[in-house]
Amino acid sequence: MSLVFRDTPSPNFNDRTCPLACIVLHYTGMETGAAALERMCDPQAQVSAHYMVEEDGAVCRLVDESRRAWHAGVSYWRGERDLNSASIGIEIVNGGHDFGLPGFPAVQIDAVTALVRDIMGRHGIAPREVIGHSDIAPGRKIDPGEKFPWTQLAEAGCALALPQTRVAGEPEALLERIGYGLEPGLPAVIEAFQRRWRPGRVDGQLDDETRDLIGRVASAA
């Protein structure tokens, strides 16, 4: 699809301190897109993202990709702790858990997919490095949430598809191999993993199905 951009510059950014390596997807978690946009453009809020995708598929450009937007907070992925510097942040307008976790309109997901594909192509980012806020901040963040259609993005080549092969190993080591940090504690990390790979049951339990999924995802890491 052809993306429709709207320039809505945010003052909330600074310089990157490391190379760009991944794309982080969020939901806005506010009642309206207008409220989220206002907050990300408020210098006192000190939060932002590079892009915000509206429910109708329009894309707001807030921070230039060359600059460091402030969307990740305390985070970790594949040894990197400054995910603001290492990523491009995309906020997706959705009320989130605080507003009943609504579904994502098809036109919005089409726009997210097209935007992610464009960014991946220009920066050489692999599908496995398209991740959620919950992946980089287990126990602290739960967006983009269980209703986000990761499978649809994977089918478009814009996120990691679940591998058919698996590798053996201790779950903690395999989770680290995937990219997760273990500091939040194993149950929180398992919940983050399940939220992405088994959204129908997110309970933090290391059951047989979760062990199998960890081994499969780790095979692509």
User: Which positions are annotated as active-site residues?
Assistant: 91
65 touches 26 (CB < 8 A): no
Cα distance between residue 126 and residue 22, in whole Å? 8
Residue corresponding to tokens 């129908």:
200
